[in-house]
Amino acid sequence: MKKAFITGITGQDGSYLAEFLLDKGYKVYGLTRRTSTQNFERIKQIVHHPNLQLVSGDLIDQHSLTYAIKQIRPDEVYNLAAQSFVQASWEQPVLTGEFTALGVTRMLEAIRLGYPKAKFYQASSSEMFGKVREVPQKETTPFYPRSPYGVAKVYGHWITVNYRESFNLFAVSGILFNHESPRRGLEFVTRKIANAIARIKLGKQKYVELGNLDAKRDWGYAKDYVQAMWLMLQQDEPDDYVVATGETHSVREFLQLACQAAGISDWQSVYKHNPKFDRPAEVDLLVGDPTKAKKKLGWKPSVDFEGLVKLMVEAELEMERES
């Protein structure tokens, strides 16, 4: 039985990846950190699965990571844990650096010292392209991060490449563009809009307050993207890949389509601008070129932009009707 160790198992991607690997017959170990209340909402369907084991630790605590790797001796390690909210990275830049940047080195050290045969996946991000140097962005596009989060991810990306080249580890970096789902945190713009529009439709809320509607993102479906992570670790050679849909849409388009999906005819009547949600430095346009992932991994997205908005709004309508 293959063994996988996932950091960030309680997050959006970690929970989908754990389900995907359990379905494939893996024994899955998930790192969870101590919190005053348990945060197992996204893994509630699998938490009692006989092939899932939760392991206590934190990206800031080297011993907990090295101990876990030594004990488990995993075939595959997926480092998905991070302070992942861009806006919060201006409010907590040092903590973001500790988790999202140095946390990667701690994981790599744990593998190097504890079980160097493990294959390592690093959750890199399209935020590294920031003020984009070319359109669309591919594996060779230079980075120009625009937030403490983006800067931390650039560090995580290069330390992964460096450990591959220095210590011959099977370490790969997946440069994933935005991917969403009904399990997205409520603070991210897609889930925030989908949830607010459902609540407005049901008469529970009047407006949705947003920042910059002009920002454009390449949005895909999270379930498709965890499959790409796994495919990267099944290759003969470690390499880095862009994972994206190749299409870009504005926050405004997301809002308009969400209203349409809920049967709200005038999107402007339910929207207010709130400068609180504007960012000190914005990433205006992201659009990825997934040619390499399609060709070498045989990966392709199964849900388009319209389908994604629809599935997110429908999930929120169902949840809000029940609550």
Give me the residues that bind ligand NAP (CB under 6 A), please. 7-8, 10-14, 31, 33, 35, 39, 58-60, 80-84, 99, 123, 125, 176, 178-179, 185
- Quick one: what does residue 108 bind among ligand G4F, ligand NAP, none, with the CB cut-off 5 to 8 Å set by partner type? none
Chosen from ligand G4F, ligand NAP, none, partner binding at 279 (C-beta under 5 to 8 Å by type): ligand G4F
| Minimum CB distance to ligand NAP, residue 202 (Å) | 25
x-or-dash string of contact with ligand G4F, 53-92, rule CB under 6 A: -------------------------------x-xx-----
Minimal distance, residue 152 CB to ligand G4F, in Å: 10
Beta strands in the chain (DSSP E): 3-7, 27-32, 52-56, 76-79, 119-125, 171-176, 179-180, 208-210, 216-217, 220-221, 241-243, 249-250, 271-273
Under the criterion CB under 6 A, does residue 224 sit at the interface with ligand G4F? no
CA 93 to centroid of chain Cα atoms: 19
Q: How far is CA 226 from the centre of its chain?
A: 9
Interhelix angle for 103-114 vs 148-167, to 10°? 20
Site string (233-262) toward ligand G4F, x via CB under 6 A: ------------------x-----------
- Give 261's Cβ-side CA count (13 Å radius): 25
CB nearer ligand NAP, residue 65 or residue 261: 65
**Residue 86 interacting entry, from ligand G4F, ligand NAP, none, C-beta within 5 to 8 Å by type:** ligand G4F
At its nearest, how many Å lie between ligand G4F and the CB of residue 71? Answer: 29
Residues 6+ apart with CB under 8 A from 51: 1, 22, 25, 26, 27, 28
Distance CA(74)–CA(30), nearest Å, equals: 11
